[in-house]
Every structure is written in C-alpha cells, then in structure tokens.
Amino acid sequence: MAGQNWWRGAVIYQIYPRSFLDTNGDGVGDLPGILARLDYIASLGVDAIWISPFFTSPMADFGYDIADFRGVDPLFGTLADFDRVLEKAHALGLKVMIDQVLSHCSVDHAWFQESRQGRDNPKSDWFVWADAKPDGTPPNNWLSIFGGVAWTWEPRRGQYYLHNFLSSQPQLNFHNPEVRAAQLDNLKFWLDRGVDGFRLDSINFPFHDARLRDNPPKPAHLRTGRGFSADNPYAFQYHLHNNTQPENLGLLEDVRALLDRYPDAGALGEISSEDSLATTAEYCTPQRLHMGYSFELLTADCSATYIRATVEALEAKMTEGWPCWAISNHDVQRAVTRWGGGEDAAMARQLLALVCSLRGSVCLYQGEELGLPEAEVPFEALQDPYGKAFWPNFKGRDGCRTPMPWTGADDAGFSSAAPWLPVPAAHRALSVEAQERDPASVLHAARAFLRWRKTQPALVQGTIRFLDAPAQVLALVREHAAQRLLLAFNLSAQACEWSLPAPATLLDVPGLPSPAVEAGVLRLPPRGVACALLAD
C-alpha cells in the first residue's frame, strides 16, 4: 500500500493505547508498549495503525477530553516516545494515523479556563455560551449523548456552556474563525511531525445551529441509534441542530486543503448523524475527506439482508468518495458477541474476511485478529462514566476495552501491576502466545487472509455488487480489470447450499476452510466462506 493513495483499500489496525501493553508497571498501556509490539502488528499484514488519543488529558473520557492537543500525557509517555513509534512504524512499512478530536476539548484546557472567567477576555467566544431562559433553564432542549441536558451552568460568566458529550468536554465554537484556524494549526503540528493522516472523531459535530433552535421530538418506535438504548433520552430527539450543520462542509474543505500540502496524507472521518450514510457520502469527496465510516455495521443486526441493504445504500449515495468499514471498535460490543453471542472461532474468521471483502478500506480493532468476545466487567470494576450512568440496561464500553491478552498468565502479559480493567480468563485462553502455537487459530487465519487479500486487486480496489442468494447467505462480486471474484458468506450456524448463478472456479483462500462445489451447487458449512473466480 506504499505510494500514492495508500489509504485506498488499506487495512487499518486500531490501537487503544490504555489497553495495548503497559511497560512501566502502572497498569495502563503506553507508547513504549506500542513500540514494543509494532513487529507483531506488521506481521498481521495490515497497512496502517490508528492510535486512539494519547494527548494530555484528565482522562474523564479516557483521552477524548484533551487538555493539550500537542502534548503527550505522562500516563502514555513523551513526545519523544511518539516519535520513536512513528519512526519504527515507517521502517516496518506501516502508515500512522492518530485520533484528532476537533469539536471539543477538556474543561482543563487553557482555552476553556480563560473563556469561563468572563465575557470580555480573548477566548470569551471560543466556546458555545448562551444565556439562560427567563426562568433560569437552559437555552434549548439539546441533550448529551452520555445522558441528560447538554448544557452546564458557569457562575463566573452567568451563562450555560454546551457539551454534546460529558460536561467536562465543552463544545468549541467553530463559528469563530479563530477556533477554526487554531484547530487546523494543531493538525499541522502533527503533520509536520510526520503522521500519515488522521481519524477525525465525531467529525460532524464541530458546528452547531447558531440560532440554537430546539431539536424536534422522535417517535418512541424510532428511538434507537448509536451505542445507546431507547431509555437514553438522547434517543428521544432528531438531532438536527446540535450537529451536522451545513457550515461543516467548509471546515472539511479546509482540512483537505491542509492535508493536500503533505505527501499523500489521508483523513478518515467518524460520522454519526440522523442519516449517517447520506452524510458520509456528502463528506467523502475529492474536496473533503478521503474516506469515512459510520455506525451502520456496528449495530446488532447482522443479517445478510441488512448488510447488503446498508452497503448498497451507501454505494448508491457515494458517487465520488471512498468508504471505510468497521464491525468492532472501542465504543461498541465486540462483534463475535454482538453478532454471535460469544466466543466462536469460525465466526471470528468469517467476520474478518467479510469486512475485508467489502469495497473500501477497513478498520480492525485490536484483539479482533484473536476473535476476542466481549468481556464481562462487574459494576465495581467499571471505569466508563457512560456505563456507570446507564447500568444495568447499558453496561458501557469497558467490555470492549479490556487489556490485550499477550499471554495466558494472570496478568495476560499486559502489565506487572493490576490492570486498569480486569482481563477475563476467556481472553487469556485466546492470548497471542496461545494462538501463535496453534496453526488452526484465528490469529494464523487472520494473518493468512490479510496477506492473501493484498494480492487480490479486486478486493483492494474493485467495484462491488450483490447477488440474490438464500436468506442466510451474503453473496457479492468484486471486480477489477480482468479479475472477477465471487464471495459467499454463510452467516448462519447451519450448513446450506446455493446453486451458483454462473460458472466459477473455487479458490483456496488461506486461513479459511475450503467449501465444496458439485454440479454447480455450492455447499457452505456453518459460518462458511467461499471465494471463486468467475468465468468471463
């Protein structure tokens, strides 16, 4: 994937630093831990790493509340440690993307500390401040994703400030051109340091409706969405005014203009809006983001019908841009649990192959190559404020954030101290050490498939179309130049048959068991995968 447009079709490995590897014995992963495991990551056959926030932060939201956009939090190491990660990753042929959180910061950031002091200082208009209604209540009905009102009173100014997430994450005012320029300059700092691109967190959130209009109510039967249940009041509204504003397009064009000044830098946007597919298509154009992903495949529905409809809907809307797909990350329940109910090696192999067979780039979350299920974290060990607020209906995000199991030891080879989250025994049994010893492991299958994928132009760059098949089978064709690949995924736990629509030659795909074809009938085992070369 070296050279021009490296990101197009790339497999990007997400590292959650707190949970990757602890080298200084404080129970929290760090940048030297990433450095120590870069050879392992490169061995997987991925093209890039995405490192979740490691910036200076009070850690109210575990790094997504940034107090210094250019500083490394001592918890993770130093700026020199980051430079060493960057240098070694590049030496191994890995591109490096880092998280950037443009829309908000921490209450500890110097900008907010100054802004909150009064209405007449140089930073007074750098955040979204608003007067109370005559009865003292907040200026409108906007709600926080993490539950409750999206406004907090600041007595020093006698005003409310907006926060779309935690109250300790005040919303920056992008209607102020100085804020826009400052955040672009922060991006430039990291580009000058040598990063290859950014994963832009909640990139549809920077602008808000300047008129502060109320959001309209949402009917009860439609109260579902990203990472929250129907009992979260955030689901009670259509979020038309607190994010995804038209002015955001100009910001994305400014970001792209900056990135275009650097050799082949790329940007991946995280997009969560009322119509995320339409927003993704609008945001991913040659003048805006290089690629984007939304949460449509991070839901509970894993049927062939749903996956096909979702991908086809984006394909119909995205006429210019490049998609990116993920089925697991640090915000949602791990896929083998969410879609399969628990540990299932066959499903883990299949899901990795599936997401890597869709048109676009791919984000793989650490541990996905091991087939890790969701961890059960008891309430007394919870760290996530979101989970604490909504327990037990929603247990938060800690279950997908537990430390990476490197060995089967009690500490999982993660830390010499008690880890910040417990490592379950089920994860230790699936450790890297154990799977390295087992030729039939998910890890070996993941490596084999990812290396094979690189050799298939149709999977990396090709078009996509879906075929009608039995209800439990997702069937698609990827095509590039003279290569036409048919892929079929039996998403059920029962064997099935499918009469192939055209003559095809089955390929032996490394890392996946070989299905059988007889007289044009494909026989797929439970969770089976078939790949065939279609005749001209």
Name the pairing type of β-strands 151-154 and 55-56. Answer: unpaired
Separation between Cα atoms, residue 98 and residue 79, nearest integer Å? 13
Active-site annotation holder among 65, 99, 270, 343? 270
Separation between Cα atoms, residue 103 and residue 472, nearest integer Å? 41
Active-site annotation holder among 22, 201, 344, 368? 201
Please, are residues 284 and 291 in contact by the beta-carbon 8 Å criterion?
Answer: yes
Separation between Cα atoms, residue 536 and residue 506, nearest integer Å? 15
DSSP states along 396-433: -SGGG-SPP--SSSTTTTT-SS--SSPPPHHHHHT-HH
Task: Name the helix (H) or strand (E) containing 486.
Answer: strand 483-490
- Asked about 131 being catalytic, the answer comes back as no
Separation between Cα atoms, residue 97 and residue 94, nearest integer Å? 10
Please, are residues 512 and 450 in contact by the beta-carbon 8 Å criterion?
Answer: no
The 3-state secondary structure of 325-339 reads ECCCCCCCCCHHHHC
Angle at 491 between CA 485 and CA 495, to 5 degrees: 95
Please name the amino acid found at residue 509: V
Beta-bridged to residue 194, according to DSSP, are none
> At residue 364, what are phi and psi to the nearest 5 degrees?
-105, 135
Tell me the torsion sign for CA atoms 55, 252, 169, 401: negative
- Asked about 497 being catalytic, the answer comes back as no
Write the CB contacts of 155 (distance below 8 Å, at least 6 apart in sequence): none
Radius of gyration of the chain (CA): 23
Residues with catalytic function: 201, 270
